[in-house]
Amino acid sequence: MRRRLRRPHLPARLPVDPYVLALLGTVGLAALLPARGQAATVADGAATVAVALLFFLYGARLSTREALDGLRHWRLHLTVLVCTFLLFPLLGLAARGLVPTLLTPPLYSGLLFLCLVPSTIQSSIAFTSIARGNVPAAICAGSFSSLAGIVLTPLLAAALLGSSAGGFSPDSLLKIVLQLLLPFLLGQLLRRWVGGFLVRNRQVLGRFDRGSILLVVYAAFSAGMAAGIWHQVSVPRLGALLAVEAVLLAVMLLVSWYGARRLGFGRADRIAIQFAGSKKSLAAGLPMASVLFGAQAGLAVLPLMLFHQMQLMVCAVLARRRAAQTEPAGHGELPTGRVAEVSSAVQHPSVRAR
């Protein structure tokens, strides 16, 4: 009897994120019909309010009790934080040697900002579940990273990006406090009263999240069109940026996987560390960029948007390979039915946008 060769298992389709397509459509709209004059003032004001509401909702949704329960696995969470807020920024600083041969200064600022953004939550959980990793650890690690990013990302951007992100001027720090920190803390304080409402209306609020970010992107790219920053970007520069980001993602995937093994973590924990420690949140980064970069935000978020789609495509394939290599039983895994449920959920834009 002839033995059939087994073909490698690949996903039915690569996850081309519909939400990323919506973001690109918004960029195209801003390029063709940018907000000018009074319309620009209205768009900027609406984007400012939207960012404040987003961070209020982030604060109101984060369960303080669940976060404190997750502290018991502090070594894993600390490892993810080191990947996100130490190794990524160090690689970003090392990429400065690529200016101006491969990257223009504005594109490099966007690349460095990408390295400072917190990790994802939903998509890290989904990919960890598909790969049969430690799902509870991924939940806590993503939550801790997002919480830490509200403070660390603006401060690191101010320290490392200097004048391109507003520096440590009183005006920029006041914007950070009023638009990011204060709404988040207010959400935490009011969570006791509004948490139930948010749970009952999470689908509607999810649409508000995505719509608010589209508004922020439109305002940012409209300001970029008015400032003429798009004349600084060429097709070869974009190709170089994609190549640099591919190397960045590959390095972090390898370091997070083999570094976690050297630290003595089991396979399920290593899977959670790899997916939480190598990914960056588009949903958190876009509103932060609008506060930190002002009129330059359009070009500054371009590297993050490209990296977001790249990490989804690569991690979708990697998660399925990890699942094929992992034994069915292990620490932190979900039942087979739940894995299939999360696998399909990762295709939803509200999951992948984080």
Angle 176-158-123 (CA atoms, 0-180°, nearest 5)? Answer: 70
Q: How much is the mean pLDDT over the chain? A: 79
pTM of the model: 0.73
Give the residue-averaged pLDDT of 100-119: 92
Residue 246 pLDDT > 50: yes
* Residue 336 pLDDT: 40
Q: What DSSP line would sit under 138-187, residue for residue?
A: HHHHHHHHHHHHHHHHHHHHHHHHGGGGTTT-HHHHHHHIIIIIHHHHHH
H helices, E strands: number in the chain: 18, 0
CA distance 27 to 175: 25
Give the residue-averaged pLDDT of 140-155: 84
Contacts with 233 (C-beta within 8 Å, 6 or more apart), sequence order:
104, 107, 299, 302
- Percent of the chain clearing pLDDT 90 (strictly above): 24
Structural domains of the chain, with CATH: 18-27+38-352 (1.20.1530.20)
Higher pLDDT, 294 or 319: 319
Per-range mean pLDDT, top range of 103-112, 118-127, 133-142, 283-292: 103-112
Six token digits for residue 268:
């399920």
* Residue 266 pLDDT: 93
pLDDT tens-digit map of 67-84: 565 566 789 989 999 999
* Residue 84 pLDDT: 96
